[in-house]
Amino acid sequence: MLNGDPDLARRSDFTLDEHQQARQPLIDEGLSEEQAARSLAALWTVNNNADKERWNDQQDRLDAARRQEVEEEQRQQNLKDEETAARLEERKKNKNKYSTLFHNAYVSNV
């Protein structure tokens, strides 16, 4: 799992002294300093492009999971709403039954 957006990554300047150890194996194989630096830059770009693809796939999966979670929450809310509507409808149909219950409860508390 990638931690950061590879689109924001910046390629290093592989001609700098700090990258001498990275260039050295390529130089030992017969490349010039410049060729070695260009090869490292090209490899970095290839790896970064692969990271970008993995990042996009990861973001797509996260987005799909979030959508699924929202849909499930909406489904649960719809079920609750339907249950509430059914209870209200039941009360409307049996208004006398519920008013008697409330009346008896009120009278017994007084």
From first to last of its 110 residues, the chain has per-residue pLDDT tens of 778 999 999 999 999 999 999 999 999 999 999 999 999 999 999 999 999 999 999 999 999 999 999 999 999 999 999 999 988 888 877 776 656 655 556 556 55
Instruction: Work out the angle at residue 81's Cα, subtended by the Cα atoms of residues 83 and 85, and round it to the nearest 5 degrees.
Output: 55
Q: Decide: helix, strand or coil at residue 20.
A: helix
Place of tokens 């489904």: 75
Place of tokens 């009120």: 106
pTM exceeds 0.75, yes or no:
no
Residue 101: per-residue pLDDT: 56
